[in-house]
C-alpha cells in the first residue's frame, strides 16, 4: 500500500541549504587582454604604444605570480609599492617607473569600471618626478655629414639619402615614415600627408632639396626597387617589400659610422635635431608642435633648452659688454 505523506514529512524548501554563490574570479591574464583590446578600440592607440602597455603589464603580472597572487582583488597598495621597489632594484629608471605606474593605474581603473575588480589599489600611489631629457642632437654640420654618407650611385644609397633628407626636413617619426604611401606625397604643392599616433593626420611642408630627392626617387629609383611587388608604400627594401623600423634603424647606424659621428644615433635623432634647429633659429613653438604632431605643447617645449654653445653665441652677439 502506498503511504500518504503529510506536508510535514516533505522537507520545506527553506530548510534545504544551497551552496553559496561563487564570486566570479577573473584571471589577471583575461583582464589584461580585455584592457589591451579596450585601449586599442576605444582610445585608438598605435600598435607600438599598445606594445609598451603590454610589456609593462607583463612585468606586473610576473611580479604578482612571484607573490602567488592570481586574483586582482588580492592586490593592495602595499603590493604595488613592493612591486615598484622590486623594479627599482632591477635598475629601472625613474622614467620607466613613471610610465609603469601610469599603465597599471589605467589598468586598475578599467578593471574597477568594468566590474572585474571591487577596488582600485592605485588611488594613493604617487607618480615619481623625473627629469625629461633629450637624446643627443646633431649640430648642422653633423647632419650634413650624415646626409652625405649614402652612396648615390646605388639604388639603396639613393633611397637612404632620400629618407634621411625627409626625416630631417619634416621631423617625422620612423613609425610614420614607413607608413607613407606614394600618394601621400604632393610634390607639386610641396607637402606630405602624415598619419601619426592614434592615426591623427597632419600636413607637413617640404623644402626644395627634399622635393628634388623625392622626385628622382619616386620616378627613377623606386620602380627599380619595386620589381614584381605590388605596393603603394613609398620606401622599399632591396626585395621590393616595405622597409621596417629595424631596417631604418640599421641604415641610420651604418651611415652614422660612415660619417664618423660619435654621438648616440637613434631613429629619433633627426627628429630632435629638426625641432631644435628650427627653434634655435626663431621658429614659432606652436608651428613646431604642429609639424611634430605633439598633442601637448609641453612636449615641444623640451626643445627650447638651447645648447650651451648657443647661449654663449647669443650672449656674445647681443650683450653690449660681451
- Whether the per-residue pLDDT at 17 is higher than 80: the answer is no
Of the listed 159, 161, 271, 277, which one is catalytic? 271
Beta strand extents in the chain (DSSP E only):
185-186, 191-195, 201-205
Of the listed 54, 105, 119, 268, which one is catalytic? 268
Which of 135, 185, 195, 183 has its CA nearest to residue 165? 185
What's the pLDDT band for 2 if we cut at 50, 70, 90? very low
Of the listed 35, 116, 217, 303, which one is catalytic? 303
Retrieve residue 136's grid coordinates: 643627443
Is 108 labeled as catalytic in the residue annotation?
no
Three-class DSSP category at 74:
helix
Least confidently predicted of 19-28, 86-95, 173-182: 19-28
Which of 222, 180, 221 has its CA nearest to residue 204? 180
The verdict on pTM exceeding 0.85 is no
First vs last C-alpha separation in the chain: 124
Is 159 labeled as catalytic in the residue annotation?
no
Over residues 2-25, mean pLDDT: 44
Over residues 8-23, mean pLDDT: 42
- pLDDT score of 131: 56
Of the listed 173, 222, 272, 277, which one is catalytic? 173
- pLDDT score of 270: 86
For the stretch 122-137, pLDDT in tens is 988 876 665 556 567 8
What's the pLDDT band for 312 if we cut at 50, 70, 90? low
Retrieve residue 96's grid coordinates: 620607466
d(CA 155, CA 152): 7
Better pLDDT: 182 or 22: 182
Is 272 labeled as catalytic in the residue annotation?
no
Instruction: Pick the most confident of 6-15, 40-49, 257-266, 305-314.
Output: 257-266
- Whether the per-residue pLDDT at 12 is higher than 60: the answer is no
For the stretch 297-311, pLDDT in tens is 676 666 666 545 566
- Whether the per-residue pLDDT at 19 is higher than 50: the answer is no
Of the listed 108, 159, 222, 294, which one is catalytic? 294
Is 303 labeled as catalytic in the residue annotation?
yes
What DSSP designation does 200 have?
A: -
Q: What percent of the chain has pLDDT over 70?
A: 82
- pLDDT score of 220: 95
For the stretch 56-93, pLDDT in tens is 999 999 999 988 888 899 999 889 988 888 888 788 87
Is 130 labeled as catalytic in the residue annotation?
no
Is 61 labeled as catalytic in the residue annotation?
no
Least confidently predicted of 132-146, 152-166, 288-302: 288-302
Edge-to-edge order in the sheet of strand 201-205: 185-186, 191-195, 201-205
Of the listed 77, 197, 245, 305, which one is catalytic? 197
Q: Yes or no: say if 102 and 239 are a contact pair by the CB < 8 Å rule.
A: no
- Whether the per-residue pLDDT at 98 is higher than 90: the answer is no
For the stretch 219-274, pLDDT in tens is 999 999 998 888 999 999 999 999 988 899 899 999 999 999 988 887 788 888 88
Q: What percent of the chain has pLDDT over 90?
A: 41
Amino acid at each position: 500500500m502506498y503511504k500518504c505523506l503529510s506536508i510535514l514529512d516533505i522537507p520545506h524548501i527553506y530548510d534545504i541549504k544551497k551552496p553559496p554563490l561563487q564570486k566570479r574570479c577573473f584571471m589577471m591574464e583575461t583582464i589584461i587582454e580585455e584592457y589591451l583590446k579596450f585601449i586599442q578600440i576605444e582610445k585608438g592607440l598605435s600598435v607600438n604604444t599598445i606594445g609598451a602597455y603590454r610589456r609593462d603589464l607583463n612585468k606586473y603580472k610576473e611580479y604578482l605570480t612571484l607573490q602567488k597572487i592570481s586574483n586582482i582583488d588580492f592586490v593592495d597598495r602595499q603590493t604595488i609599492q613592493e612591486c615598484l621597489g622590486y623594479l627599482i632594484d632591477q635598475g629601472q629608471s625613474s622614467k620607466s617607473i613613471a610610465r609603469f605606474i601610469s599603465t597599471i593605474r589605467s589598468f586598475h581603473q578599467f578593471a574597477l569600471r568594468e566590474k572585474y575588480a571591487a577596488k582600485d589599489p592605485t588611488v594613493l600611489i604617487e607618480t615619481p618626478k623625473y627629469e625629461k631629457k633629450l637624446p643627443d642632437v646633431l649640430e648642422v654640420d653633423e647632419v650634413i655629414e650624415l646626409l652625405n654618407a649614402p652612396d648615390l650611385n646605388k639604388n639603396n644609397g639613393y633611397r637612404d639619402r632620400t629618407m634621411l633628407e625627409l626625416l630631417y626636413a619634416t621631423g617625422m617619426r620612423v613609425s610614420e615614415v614607413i607608413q607613407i604611401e606614394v600618394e601621400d606625397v604632393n610634390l607639386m604643392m610641396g607637402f606630405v600627408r602624415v598619419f601619426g599616433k592614434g592615426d591623427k593626420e597632419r600636413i607637413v611642408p617640404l623644402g626644395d632639396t627634399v622635393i628634388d630627392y623625392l622626385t628622382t626617387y619616386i620616378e627613377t629609383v623606386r620602380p627599380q626597387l619595386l620589381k614584381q611587388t605590388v605596393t603603394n608604400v613609398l620606401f622599399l627594401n632591396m626585395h621590393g617589400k616595405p622597409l621596417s623600423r629595424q631596417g631604418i634603424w640599421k641604415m641610420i647606424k651604418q651611415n652614422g659610422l660612415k660619417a664618423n659621428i660619435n654621438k648616440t644615433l637613434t631613429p629619433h635623432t633627426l627628429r630632435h635635431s629638426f625641432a631644435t634647429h628650427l627653434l634655435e633659429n626663431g621658429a614659432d613653438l606652436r608651428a613646431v608642435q604642429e609639424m611634430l604632431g605633439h598633442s601637448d605643447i609641453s612636449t615641444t617645449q623640451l626643445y627650447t633648452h638651447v645648447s650651451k654653445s648657443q647661449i654663449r653665441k647669443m650672449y656674445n652677439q647681443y650683450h653690449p659688454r660681451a
